[in-house]
Amino acid sequence: MTSDTGTTAADSSASAVVVVLTTFPAEADAEAFGATLVKERLAACVSVGAPMTSIYTWKGAVERGLERQLLVKTVRNKVPLLQARLAALHPYDVPELLVLPVAEGGEAYLAWVRQCTAG
């Protein structure tokens, strides 16, 4: 089904735009990581949020940490490469990696994401 914006709901094609969520420790250089993803065309844009407190269980204990949320705008076929870069560059043993489908979006923006991640 095509929306008024020209996007296709639940598009599972290789060029479908997705948003990948990950977090970085607040003291780590999340901006450098984001710049690497953009330079390597694994992402069109990486938004780095302000430090926030995360509460989580790790090795049987409840932990707290200051982290930054990263929103990575990319396409589905780049996710495996992005996951490999995340594993190589991320300081955590188990980094957050959540891939969210984009149900709809502005046609020009989605085309820009596809263009920036082509190749």
Evaluate if pTM is beyond 0.85: yes
Q: What is the pLDDT of residue 64?
A: 97
Query: What is the distance between the alpha carbons of residues 90 and 119, in angstroms, rounded to a whole number?
Result: 24
Portion of the chain with pLDDT greater than 90, in percent: 87
- Could you state, in order of their start, the residue ranges of all structural domains in the chain? 17-116
Phi/psi at 66 (nearest 5 deg)? Answer: -90, 125
Q: What is the mean pLDDT of the chain?
A: 91
Instruction: Please return the burial class of 22, using the count of CB atoms within 10 Å of its CB with bins 0-12, 13-18 and 19+.
Output: buried
Q: CB-hemisphere CA count at 13 Å for 106? A: 4
Dump pLDDT digits (tens) for 53-111. Answer: 999 999 999 999 999 999 999 999 999 999 999 999 999 999 999 999 999 999 999 99
Q: What integer is the mean pLDDT of 107-118?
A: 96
CATH topology for 17-116 is Alpha-Beta Plaits (3.30.70)
